[in-house]
Chain A
């Protein structure tokens, strides 16, 4: 048994949020640079160059890389040998978010769904907890902007639609989104599970590094084929056409029911911001 005070989680959330708001992930930055190098379309190249300049300005001036500093998505994988003491874990996470969004001069973007009244401190965070083996806690912090979240979709396919149906669903979602979600996008896909679980798998897929491949060969092939077809759509950076519509596709899977094939497609804009820390 290892005792962890939730104050430690609060401090880690604070650190992660401050860093994530300003810095793209290393794999995102590399993917943007490689898209810039290979682009021939003039407007798309101008836009990609502007994005690279923007990420430099954000780091230099320590200001948010995008003004949509997102809803705070927090995934806590808590070892079953950990005993949490102190304030309730959700309270600790929200305290960390509140302080980071205030101190970092981040935008507060969370509101009541009906009255649209802003909560004014970017809480509550979207908190997911999983119990895993061991005595560590893995914290994943991902600020999620909504221009791209709005373009996400969930499909309850028929099992007979199979792999082709899955790839079609992914490509169609990106095609329908067009220029709106700030392409080049990063596409997180959930395959299987239940209605709710499938959407979570898609979100978790976005926490993987861009360019990483599923350990399952058949799923890795879906990732590669979907990416190829998306990049033939000619939507391009910002919808200005060109070679790169998506920086990557990542799929996570889970067993599902014999009668169903849920597929969730979660769109992430080119501002991929994600921090992981093991406590």
Chain B
């Protein structure tokens, strides 16, 4: 089991191999279908994004509302393939990696290699466990999208598996 704290250096990313189990801690951003559509609109219009994309890790997730006294509600990954058409562009703009579930397409694999980035699989359906590992949560953009807004999460020991690495390794193949 590899313990990692964000942000990751390119050297650390290069050491990760598909199939490695990882406990990840640090700051990540959530974004899913609607948020990605909005991010692309900003990029096309040349508007600055309301958060830093460079070296960020995007978690494909839309949390449940938090109960009183908790930082987050349940917050497992959503199916990453729906973000296939967005991920290469964001990786080319400096995105450090993604967390989601299920395989992503060949264009994403190529963009991970070209940018020395990594795609982690969270365990789909383990929403309560991930929600419980979130220590702070703050909406940083697109709050009108409710659960689909962009949240900045501070997470401790997220259990993940390296799904697609920067050397073309792919756990699903």
Contacts and interface: CB of A to CB of B under 8 A. Distances in A.
Interface of A: 42-43, 46-47, 50-51, 53-55, 57-58, 61-69, 105-109, 116, 118, 120, 147, 150, 178-182, 238-240, 269-271
B83 to A, nearest CB: 12
A62 B63 CA distance: 15
Interface stretch (B5-13, B41-49, B107-115, B123-131): B123-131
Nearest to B82: A150
B89 interface: no
- Across the A-B interface, give the 4 residue pairs with the lowest CB-CB distance, nearest first: A58-B128, A54-B126, A182-B124, A67-B127
Contacts of B64: 63-64, 67, 69, 105-107
Given A46-B21, A239-B103, A67 B124 contact: no
A167 B74 CA distance: 36
B171 to A, nearest CB: 6
Given A54-B127, A105-B65, A67 B76 contact: yes
A54 B125 contact: yes
A108 B146 contact: yes
Contacts of B159: 46, 50
Contacts of A42: 19, 21
Nearest to B64: A107
A238 B76 contact: no
A84 B118 CA distance: 57
B73 A51 contact: no
Contact of B102 (A53, A63, A180): A180
Interface SS of chain B: loop
Interface residues of B, number: 39
Interface in B66-96: 66-67, 70, 73-76, 78-79, 81
A108 B172 CA distance: 31
A168 B171 CA distance: 26
A51 B127 contact: no
B62 interface: yes
B27 interface: no
A238 B147 contact: no
Contact of B125 (A51, A108, A109): A51
A172 B63 CA distance: 32
Given A64-B73, A66-B74, A239-B102, A54 B128 contact: yes
Nearest to A118: B146
A50 B102 contact: no
Contacts of B81: 180
Given A107-B62, A178-B103, A50 B146 contact: no
B126 A50 contact: yes
A62 B74 CA distance: 10
A67 B146 contact: no
A170 B70 CA distance: 42
A273 to B, nearest CB: 11
A14 B101 CA distance: 31
A63 B75 CA distance: 10
A63 B126 contact: no
A253 to B, nearest CB: 29
Contacts of A64: 64, 73-74, 127-128
